[in-house]
Amino acid sequence: MPASSATQIDADRLWYRLSELAEIGKSEGGGVTRLSFTKEERAAKELVASYMREAGLRVREDAAGNLIGRREARVEEAPAVLAGSHVDSVRNGGDFDGPLGVLGAVEALQTMDERGVQTQRPVEVVAFTDEEGARFSFGMIGSRATAGALTPEHLANEDENGVSVAEAMRASGLDPEHIGEATRVRGSVYAYVELHIEQGRILESRDLPVGVVTGIAGPAWLKFTLTGEAAHAGTTPMNLRRDALAAAAAVMGRIEREAARTGTSVGTAGQLDLSPGGINIIPGHVSFSLDLRDIDEDVRNDVEARIMHEAALLCEKRGVELGTKTLQRLPPAPCSSLVRNAAREACEASGLVPFELASGAGHDGMHLTELCPIGMIFVRSKDGLSHNPAEYSSKEDCAAGTEVLYRTLLELADGD
C-alpha cells in the first residue's frame, strides 16, 4: 500500500467518466433509466468496455452478460481479486448508484497500470448484469449467475410486457442455455470488494466522506394481491363493501407500524396497481409490493410474520381474499474481516477515519459470500438520497472512496 497519503488516483478522469456514463439513459427530468438487456444498458456497457481497454484491461462478457476487465499479475493462475458493481439502474434513478463502483475500480486498475504496479494476484473489474431488479422484479441476475445460483424459474420471470429474462437475454445476443458458463468455482476468487454510494444519511450526519461496511441487510420482496368486489360507489353502504383498496391501505398501515416498532427494520410498498379504476367504482382488485429488510434475519422474519397475521385477520373481516407471492428472499450478508481490515487500513493510509456502518441497501456481494470473502466501501450521499435524480456524491468524496478502493485492492492483491 503506498506510503504517502497523497491521492494516487486521477480524480478528474474518474469524474469525467462518471459524467459521460450518466448521460446514457438520461431523461429530460434528469433521471437515469437503464434497465437490464436494453439498448441503454448495452450502450453503457460499450462505454465502460472502452474505459477498461484504456486502462489496459483484457475485456470480455460472460454468459450472463457480466462485463469483465482483467489485469494480469505475477502469478497468473492465482485466485483473482474482484471489484465491481453495476451499470443498470432503477427507473428514473441517479448518476452514482452502481457506476461509482465500476468506474472507481477501472480507475484503480488504470492507476496501477500507470504506476507500473504488478500485483501477485490478478484483479478483475465486473459490471454485473441487472443488480437492481427494476425490470424483472427480482435482482442481481449477474451475481446470481456468478455464484451458479440462477435457476430456470429465474429465467422464466417476465417483465411488465410479458418478456422473460431468457427472451431478453436472447434479444441482446446472449444464450440462456449457456448461463452455467458464468459460474465461478470456489477457490477461483480471492475476495470481492465493492465501492458504492451509501444511499443513506449516516456518513453525512458524521461529516465523513467514506465508510467501511460491516454487513448488508437482507431484503424480502413480496407481492400482495387483494380481491374484493367492484361495486357502485354511490349505492353500496359502507358496511356492505368488499373494498380491496381500503383493505390494502389498512395492510400498509400495519406494515409501517410493525417495521417501525423494531427500530431497525424497514418496510416499503413501492408498487401499487388497482382495478377497475373508476372514480365511482369501489376497487375490486389491488396488488402491491412489499420490500422488507433488516440486518438481523430473525427480526425481519418476525416482522413479516406479524404483518401476514394481521393482514389475514383484517382481510377476512372485510370479506377480501388475500394472496401473497415471494419474489425474492435473501439473508443478510456479513462482510469479511479480511476485506474490512484491508479497507480500514486503506482509510487510515489515506488520512481518513475508518468508520464502520451497515448497508441498508442490497448489493451483488450478497450472492458471493459462498464464493469468497466480501466487503464494501461507502461514499457519502448528499441528503442520503438515492433511487432519485437528485442522488449526488461530490467529486472529492468519489475520489476519496476510489483512493481507498485502490489501496484496498493493492492490499488484497498483494497481501498474504
Name the residues that contact ligand HGY, by CB under 6 A. 131-132, 139, 361-362
Choice between 226 and 361, CB closer to ligand HGY: 361
Output the smallest distance, CB 253 to ligand HGY, in A: 23
* Of 112 and 134, CB closest to ligand HGY: 134
User: Does 219 engage in binding with Mn ion (CB under 5 A)?
Assistant: no
Give, to the nearest 10 degrees, the angle between helix 39-54 and helix 11-22.
160
Residue placing its CB nearer to Mn ion in the complex, 98 or 354: 98
Q: For residues 247 and 335, which CB has a smaller minimum distance to ligand HGY in the complex? A: 335
Contacts with Mn ion, 143-162, as mask; x by CB under 5 A? --------------------
Give me the numbers of helices (H) and strands (E) for the chain, helices first please. Answer: 11, 16
- CB 285 within 8 Å of CB 246: no
For residue 68, the partner it binds in Mn ion, ligand HGY, none, with Cβ less than 5 to 8 A by kind, is: none
CB 384 to Mn ion: min, Å = 13
| Beta carbon of residue 376, minimum distance to ligand HGY (angstroms, whole number) | 12
Nearer to ligand HGY, 132 or 258 (CB): 132
**Three-point CA angle 386, 388, 392, nearest 5°:** 55
Under the binding rule (CB under 5 A), the answer on residue 401 touching Mn ion is no
Query: In the beta sheet, which residues pair with residue 223?
Result: 289, 325
Indicate the residue type of 208. L
Nearer to ligand HGY, 69 or 94 (CB): 94
Q: Does position 194 bind Mn ion by CB under 5 A?
A: no
Ranges of beta strands (E only) in 149-296 are 189-197, 210-216, 218-227, 231-232, 266-268, 272-275, 281-282, 285-294
Write down the least CB distance from residue 230 to ligand HGY, Å. Answer: 33
CA distance between the termini of the chain: 13
243 touches Mn ion (CB under 5 A): no
- Which 91-110 residues touch Mn ion, going by CB under 5 A? 97-98
Between residues 228 and 267, which has the closer beta carbon with respect to Mn ion?
267
139: partner contacted, choices Mn ion, ligand HGY, none (Cβ within 5-8 A by kind): ligand HGY
Q: Which does 31 bind (CB under 5 to 8 A by kind): ligand HGY, Mn ion, none?
A: none
362 binding partner (options ligand HGY, Mn ion, none; Cβ < 5 to 8 Å by kind): ligand HGY
Q: Residue 380 or residue 407: which is nearer to ligand HGY going by CB?
A: 380
Q: How far is the CB of 200 from Mn ion (least distance, A)?
A: 12
Mark out the alpha helices in 223-331 (DSSP H runs). Answer: 244-262, 297-318
CB of 94 to ligand HGY, least distance (A): 11
Give yes or no for a contact between 122 and 71, defined as CB atoms under 8 angstroms apart: yes
Helix axes 297-318, 244-262, angle to 10 degrees: 150
Whether 185 contacts 116, CB under 8 Å: no
Identify which of 153, 164, 102, 304 has the alpha carbon closest to the alpha carbon of residue 221.
Answer: 304
Strand locations in 266-411 (E): 266-268, 272-275, 281-282, 285-294, 321-329, 333-334, 356-359, 374-379
Q: How many binding residues for Mn ion (CB under 5 A)? A: 2
Residue 98, contacted partner among Mn ion, ligand HGY, none, CB below 5-8 A by kind: Mn ion
86/189 Cα distance (integer angstroms): 19
Chain contacts with Mn ion (rule: CB under 5 A): 97-98
